[in-house]
Protein backbone atom coordinates (compact mmCIF):
# COMPACT_ATOMS: atom_id res chain seq x y z
CA UNK A 1 0.00 0.00 0.00
CA UNK A 2 1.09 3.62 -0.46
CA UNK A 3 2.40 5.81 2.38
CA UNK A 4 2.29 9.50 3.16
CA UNK A 5 5.52 10.66 4.77
CA UNK A 6 8.19 8.24 6.01
CA UNK A 7 7.85 4.51 5.48
CA UNK A 8 6.94 2.88 8.84
CA UNK A 9 9.86 1.26 10.64
CA UNK A 10 10.05 -2.53 10.48
CA UNK A 11 12.02 -2.88 13.74
CA UNK A 12 11.79 -1.55 17.30
CA UNK A 13 14.28 1.05 18.44
CA UNK A 14 15.16 2.58 21.79
CA UNK A 15 17.03 5.70 22.81
CA UNK A 16 20.48 5.37 24.30
CA UNK A 17 20.57 5.86 28.06
CA UNK A 18 23.37 6.78 30.50
CA UNK A 19 23.19 6.00 34.22
CA UNK A 20 25.25 8.22 36.50
CA UNK A 21 27.05 7.42 39.75
CA UNK A 22 26.11 10.09 42.27
CA UNK A 23 28.98 11.93 43.94
CA UNK A 24 28.17 13.96 47.07
CA UNK A 25 28.44 17.77 46.68
CA UNK A 26 29.08 17.40 42.92
CA UNK A 27 26.97 19.26 40.36
CA UNK A 28 29.00 18.62 37.14
CA UNK A 29 28.93 15.20 35.42
CA UNK A 30 30.41 13.95 32.16
CA UNK A 31 28.13 12.76 29.36
CA UNK A 32 29.00 9.75 27.17
CA UNK A 33 28.16 11.76 24.03
CA UNK A 34 28.51 15.42 23.13
CA UNK A 35 25.28 17.44 22.93
CA UNK A 36 24.38 20.91 21.64
CA UNK A 37 22.46 21.89 24.75
CA UNK A 38 20.26 20.48 27.52
CA UNK A 39 17.36 19.95 25.13
CA UNK A 40 19.24 17.05 23.51
CA UNK A 41 18.80 14.95 26.63
CA UNK A 42 16.03 14.05 29.07
CA UNK A 43 17.27 13.96 32.65
CA UNK A 44 15.48 11.76 35.22
CA UNK A 45 16.18 12.05 38.97
CA UNK A 46 14.52 9.58 41.31
CA UNK A 47 12.18 8.63 38.44
CA UNK A 48 11.06 12.25 37.96
CA UNK A 49 11.71 14.01 34.64
CA UNK A 50 13.61 17.25 35.25
CA UNK A 51 13.04 20.57 33.53
CA UNK A 52 15.93 21.71 31.34
CA UNK A 53 17.25 25.24 30.97
CA UNK A 54 19.14 27.99 32.73
CA UNK A 55 17.71 28.60 36.20
CA UNK A 56 15.90 25.26 35.99
CA UNK A 57 16.98 21.77 37.08
CA UNK A 58 19.95 21.36 34.68
CA UNK A 59 21.89 22.65 31.69
CA UNK A 60 24.17 20.79 29.25
CA UNK A 61 26.79 21.69 26.66
CA UNK A 62 29.26 19.40 24.90
CA UNK A 63 29.90 16.50 27.28
CA UNK A 64 29.21 18.47 30.48
CA UNK A 65 25.96 18.12 32.44
CA UNK A 66 25.46 20.76 35.16
CA UNK A 67 22.85 20.36 37.92
CA UNK A 68 21.28 23.25 39.73
CA UNK A 69 21.73 21.39 43.03
CA UNK A 70 23.96 18.55 44.18
CA UNK A 71 22.47 15.10 44.90
CA UNK A 72 23.21 12.60 47.66
CA UNK A 73 24.91 9.27 46.99
CA UNK A 74 22.93 6.29 48.26
CA UNK A 75 19.71 8.31 48.35
CA UNK A 76 19.31 9.81 44.90
CA UNK A 77 19.40 8.10 41.47
CA UNK A 78 19.92 9.80 38.12
CA UNK A 79 20.03 8.86 34.45
CA UNK A 80 19.61 10.63 31.14
CA UNK A 81 18.27 9.65 27.72
CA UNK A 82 19.98 10.99 24.58
CA UNK A 83 17.03 12.09 22.46
CA UNK A 84 18.98 12.14 19.20
CA UNK A 85 20.63 8.70 19.45
CA UNK A 86 18.20 5.86 18.62
CA UNK A 87 19.45 2.28 18.91
CA UNK A 88 17.83 -0.67 17.07
CA UNK A 89 16.85 -3.52 19.37
CA UNK A 90 15.41 -6.17 17.03
CA UNK A 91 17.83 -8.96 15.97
CA UNK A 92 17.79 -9.81 12.24
CA UNK A 93 15.97 -13.07 11.42
CA UNK A 94 18.05 -16.23 11.15
CA UNK A 95 19.58 -16.59 7.69
CA UNK A 96 18.78 -13.00 6.68
CA UNK A 97 22.44 -11.83 6.74
CA UNK A 98 24.53 -13.22 3.84
CA UNK A 99 27.87 -12.25 2.35
CA UNK A 100 26.19 -9.56 0.26
CA UNK A 101 25.24 -7.69 3.47
CA UNK A 102 28.84 -7.70 4.76
CA UNK A 103 31.33 -5.14 3.58
CA UNK A 104 34.82 -6.25 2.65
CA UNK A 105 37.06 -6.59 5.74
CA UNK A 106 33.99 -6.04 7.95
CA UNK A 107 34.83 -9.00 10.23
CA UNK A 108 38.04 -8.30 12.14
CA UNK A 109 40.12 -10.46 14.47
CA UNK A 110 38.48 -8.79 17.49
CA UNK A 111 35.05 -10.07 16.35
CA UNK A 112 36.11 -13.74 16.17
CA UNK A 113 35.76 -15.59 19.47
CA UNK A 114 38.66 -17.66 20.81
CA UNK A 115 38.32 -21.25 19.62
CA UNK A 116 35.68 -20.34 17.01
CA UNK A 117 37.87 -21.41 14.05
CA UNK A 118 38.40 -25.18 14.01
CA UNK A 119 40.00 -27.61 11.58
CA UNK A 120 36.78 -28.13 9.59
CA UNK A 121 36.76 -24.41 8.76
CA UNK A 122 40.13 -24.63 6.98
CA UNK A 123 40.42 -25.74 3.35
CA UNK A 124 43.20 -28.05 2.24
CA UNK A 125 46.34 -26.12 1.22
CA UNK A 126 44.97 -22.99 2.94
CA UNK A 127 48.51 -22.12 4.09
CA UNK A 128 50.48 -21.43 0.91
CA UNK A 129 52.67 -18.88 -0.75
CA UNK A 130 54.44 -17.97 2.46
CA UNK A 131 58.07 -16.88 2.60
CA UNK A 132 60.40 -19.82 3.23
CA UNK A 133 62.68 -19.86 6.24
CA UNK A 134 66.10 -18.40 5.52
CA UNK A 135 67.76 -20.46 8.27
CA UNK A 136 67.10 -23.44 10.50
CA UNK A 137 64.11 -22.75 12.80
CA UNK A 138 64.60 -22.06 16.49
CA UNK A 139 63.66 -24.84 18.91
CA UNK A 140 60.61 -22.85 20.06
CA UNK A 141 59.31 -22.20 16.53
CA UNK A 142 55.99 -23.97 16.00
CA UNK A 143 54.63 -26.06 13.13
CA UNK A 144 51.03 -27.06 12.41
CA UNK A 145 50.37 -30.79 12.00
CA UNK A 146 47.20 -32.80 11.45
CA UNK A 147 46.56 -35.44 14.12
CA UNK A 148 43.76 -37.61 12.70
CA UNK A 149 42.16 -34.50 11.21
CA UNK A 150 42.76 -32.26 14.24
CA UNK A 151 45.16 -29.34 13.70
CA UNK A 152 47.80 -29.23 16.46
CA UNK A 153 50.95 -27.26 17.17
CA UNK A 154 54.37 -28.82 17.70
CA UNK A 155 57.71 -27.23 18.61
CA UNK A 156 60.58 -27.69 16.17
CA UNK A 157 62.64 -29.16 19.03
CA UNK A 158 60.43 -32.27 18.93
CA UNK A 159 60.97 -33.01 15.24
CA UNK A 160 64.41 -31.71 14.33
CA UNK A 161 66.10 -35.00 15.26
CA UNK A 162 64.59 -36.68 12.19
CA UNK A 163 64.20 -40.48 12.06
CA UNK A 164 65.72 -42.17 15.12
CA UNK A 165 68.11 -39.29 15.73
CA UNK A 166 69.05 -38.64 12.08
CA UNK A 167 69.26 -35.00 11.07
CA UNK A 168 70.56 -32.97 8.14
CA UNK A 169 73.76 -31.00 7.77
CA UNK A 170 74.23 -28.79 4.69
CA UNK A 171 71.66 -30.93 2.88
CA UNK A 172 73.23 -34.30 3.82
CA UNK A 173 71.89 -36.88 6.28
CA UNK A 174 73.71 -37.09 9.59
CA UNK A 175 73.16 -39.92 12.13
CA UNK A 176 73.22 -39.28 15.87
CA UNK A 177 75.72 -42.14 16.30
CA UNK A 178 78.84 -42.73 14.18
CA UNK A 179 78.08 -46.48 14.27
CA UNK A 180 74.70 -46.08 12.57
CA UNK A 181 74.33 -47.14 8.95
CA UNK A 182 71.87 -47.94 6.17
CA UNK A 183 70.43 -51.35 5.24
CA UNK A 184 70.52 -51.73 1.45
CA UNK A 185 68.52 -54.16 -0.67
CA UNK A 186 66.34 -55.40 2.22
CA UNK A 187 63.32 -54.21 4.20
CA UNK A 188 64.46 -55.70 7.51
CA UNK A 189 67.53 -55.32 9.69
CA UNK A 190 69.85 -57.87 8.03
CA UNK A 191 73.44 -57.58 9.25
CA UNK A 192 74.96 -58.67 5.93
CA UNK A 193 73.16 -55.79 4.16
CA UNK A 194 74.25 -53.05 6.57
CA UNK A 195 76.49 -50.32 5.15
CA UNK A 196 77.89 -48.69 8.26
CA UNK A 197 81.00 -46.84 7.08
CA UNK A 198 82.32 -44.70 4.25
CA UNK A 199 85.50 -42.65 4.30
CA UNK A 200 87.91 -40.94 1.92
CA UNK A 201 91.35 -39.60 2.70
CA UNK A 202 95.11 -39.54 2.15
CA UNK A 203 97.93 -41.47 3.76
CA UNK A 204 101.73 -41.52 3.64
CA UNK A 205 103.15 -44.61 1.99
CA UNK A 206 106.54 -45.98 3.02
CA UNK A 207 108.72 -48.73 1.55
CA UNK A 208 110.67 -51.26 3.59
CA UNK A 209 113.84 -53.16 2.69
CA UNK A 210 115.62 -55.49 5.10
CA UNK A 211 113.38 -54.25 7.93
CA UNK A 212 114.07 -50.51 7.46
CA UNK A 213 112.61 -47.64 5.44
CA UNK A 214 114.55 -46.98 2.28
CA UNK A 215 113.77 -43.22 2.55
CA UNK A 216 114.86 -40.75 -0.14
CA UNK A 217 111.58 -40.01 -1.93
CA UNK A 218 110.58 -36.87 -3.82
CA UNK A 219 106.97 -37.41 -2.73
CA UNK A 220 104.87 -40.16 -1.21
CA UNK A 221 101.27 -39.27 -2.06
CA UNK A 222 98.63 -41.95 -1.55
CA UNK A 223 94.84 -42.02 -1.34
CA UNK A 224 92.18 -44.34 0.04
CA UNK A 225 88.44 -44.92 -0.11
CA UNK A 226 86.85 -47.14 2.54
CA UNK A 227 83.40 -48.61 1.88
CA UNK A 228 82.22 -50.86 4.68
CA UNK A 229 85.07 -53.32 5.31
CA UNK A 230 86.74 -52.88 1.89
CA UNK A 231 89.60 -50.39 1.42
CA UNK A 232 90.72 -49.16 -2.00
CA UNK A 233 94.21 -47.60 -2.09
CA UNK A 234 96.37 -46.04 -4.78
CA UNK A 235 99.46 -43.89 -4.84
CA UNK A 236 102.82 -43.14 -6.37
CA UNK A 237 106.31 -41.95 -5.54
CA UNK A 238 109.72 -41.29 -7.03
CA UNK A 239 112.74 -42.93 -5.43
CA UNK A 240 115.76 -40.55 -5.35
CA UNK A 241 118.28 -42.67 -3.46
CA UNK A 242 120.90 -45.08 -4.78
CA UNK A 243 119.67 -47.93 -6.97
CA UNK A 244 118.50 -50.97 -5.01
CA UNK A 245 118.93 -54.64 -5.91
CA UNK A 246 119.03 -57.97 -4.17
CA UNK A 247 116.59 -57.54 -1.24
CA UNK A 248 112.80 -57.62 -1.19
CA UNK A 249 110.95 -54.30 -1.08
CA UNK A 250 107.48 -54.09 0.49
CA UNK A 251 105.11 -51.20 1.11
CA UNK A 252 103.80 -50.07 4.51
CA UNK A 253 101.73 -47.38 6.20
CA UNK A 254 98.31 -48.64 5.05
CA UNK A 255 95.47 -46.44 6.44
CA UNK A 256 93.60 -49.42 8.01
CA UNK A 257 94.75 -52.73 9.45
CA UNK A 258 94.50 -55.69 7.07
CA UNK A 259 91.86 -58.28 8.03
CA UNK A 260 92.42 -62.01 8.30
CA UNK A 261 89.89 -62.28 5.47
CA UNK A 262 92.69 -61.18 3.12
CA UNK A 263 93.67 -64.76 2.24
CA UNK A 264 95.15 -64.46 -1.25
CA UNK A 265 96.58 -60.97 -0.88
CA UNK A 266 96.68 -60.25 -4.64
CA UNK A 267 94.06 -57.61 -5.44
CA UNK A 268 95.73 -55.03 -7.72
CA UNK A 269 98.85 -54.07 -9.60
CA UNK A 270 101.97 -51.91 -9.57
CA UNK A 271 104.35 -50.38 -12.10
CA UNK A 272 107.97 -49.20 -11.87
CA UNK A 273 109.67 -47.19 -14.59
CA UNK A 274 111.73 -44.08 -15.42
CA UNK A 275 108.67 -42.01 -16.17
CA UNK A 276 109.27 -41.85 -19.95
CA UNK A 277 110.43 -44.25 -22.63
CA UNK A 278 109.74 -47.97 -22.80
CA UNK A 279 113.00 -49.41 -21.44
CA UNK A 280 113.48 -50.85 -17.97
CA UNK A 281 109.74 -50.99 -17.30
CA UNK A 282 108.46 -53.42 -14.69
CA UNK A 283 104.93 -54.29 -13.70
CA UNK A 284 103.18 -56.95 -11.67
CA UNK A 285 100.65 -57.78 -9.00
CA UNK A 286 100.17 -55.84 -5.76
CA UNK A 287 98.07 -56.47 -2.69
CA UNK A 288 97.81 -56.59 1.09
CA UNK A 289 98.98 -59.56 3.16
CA UNK A 290 97.61 -60.09 6.64
CA UNK A 291 100.69 -61.96 7.85
CA UNK A 292 102.79 -58.79 7.82
CA UNK A 293 100.16 -56.03 7.78
CA UNK A 294 101.82 -54.38 4.78
CA UNK A 295 101.55 -54.80 1.02
CA UNK A 296 103.75 -56.56 -1.46
CA UNK A 297 104.59 -56.26 -5.14
CA UNK A 298 105.26 -59.38 -7.22
CA UNK A 299 106.87 -58.84 -10.65
CA UNK A 300 104.99 -60.38 -13.53
CA UNK A 301 106.22 -63.74 -14.82
CA UNK A 302 107.82 -64.88 -11.52
CA UNK A 303 106.62 -67.08 -8.67
CA UNK A 304 104.38 -65.85 -5.87
CA UNK A 305 107.21 -66.21 -3.37
CA UNK A 306 109.31 -63.48 -4.94
CA UNK A 307 108.80 -59.79 -4.13
CA UNK A 308 109.99 -56.68 -5.93
CA UNK A 309 113.76 -56.58 -5.34
CA UNK A 310 114.99 -53.89 -7.72
CA UNK A 311 114.37 -50.13 -7.81
CA UNK A 312 116.53 -47.82 -9.89
CA UNK A 313 117.40 -44.28 -8.84
CA UNK A 314 114.79 -41.64 -9.92
CA UNK A 315 112.37 -44.37 -11.03
CA UNK A 316 108.68 -43.91 -10.33
CA UNK A 317 106.48 -46.50 -8.66
CA UNK A 318 102.67 -46.45 -8.89
CA UNK A 319 100.26 -48.93 -7.32
CA UNK A 320 96.55 -49.58 -6.86
CA UNK A 321 94.78 -52.43 -5.02
CA UNK A 322 92.11 -53.21 -2.45
CA UNK A 323 91.98 -55.25 0.73
CA UNK A 324 89.67 -56.21 3.60
CA UNK A 325 89.84 -54.59 7.01
CA UNK A 326 88.19 -55.18 10.39
CA UNK A 327 88.40 -51.47 11.31
Q: How far apart are CA 296 and CA 265, in angstroms?
A: 8
Residue 112 placed within a domain: no
Sign of the alpha-carbon dihedral angle for 304, 305, 307, 309: negative
Residue 132 placed within a domain: no
Res 277 pLDDT > 70: no
pLDDT tens digits for 213-247?
988 888 888 999 999 889 999 999 999 999 988 88
Domain count, the chain: 3
pLDDT for the residue 128: 64
- Residue 271, C-beta contacts closer than 8 angstroms, at least 6 positions apart: 281, 282, 283, 317, 318, 319
Say yes or no: 168 and 205 in one domain: no
Q: Which of 122, 155, 173 is the last residue of a domain?
A: 173
Say yes or no: 319 and 213 in one domain: yes
Q: Which of 45, 64, 88 is the last residue of a domain?
A: 88
Average of pLDDT values for 299-307? 64
In this predicted structure, which of 76-80, 132-136, 206-210 has the lowest mean pLDDT? 132-136
Q: Are 134 and 141 in contact (CB under 8 A)?
A: no
Res 110 pLDDT > 90: no
Say yes or no: 164 and 49 in one domain: no
pLDDT for the residue 266: 56
Cα–Cα distances in angstroms (integers) from residue 119 to residues 29, 125, 159, 225, in the given order: 50, 12, 22, 53
Residue span of the structural domain in which 161 resides? 139-173
Average of pLDDT values for 61-82? 96
Say yes or no: 168 and 278 in one domain: no
Res 88 pLDDT > 70: no
pLDDT for the residue 211: 86
Say yes or no: 309 and 266 in one domain: yes
Average of pLDDT values for 207-213? 89
Amino acid sequence: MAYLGNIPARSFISFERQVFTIVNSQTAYTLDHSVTNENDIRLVVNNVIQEPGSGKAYTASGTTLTLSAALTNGTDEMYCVFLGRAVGTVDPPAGSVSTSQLASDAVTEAKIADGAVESEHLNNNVISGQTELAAEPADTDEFLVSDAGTIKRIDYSHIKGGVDGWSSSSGSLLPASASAGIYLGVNSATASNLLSDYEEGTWTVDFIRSGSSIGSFSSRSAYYTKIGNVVYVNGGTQYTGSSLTGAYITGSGLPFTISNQNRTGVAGSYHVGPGSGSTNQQAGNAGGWNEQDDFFMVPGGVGQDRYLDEWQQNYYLNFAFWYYTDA
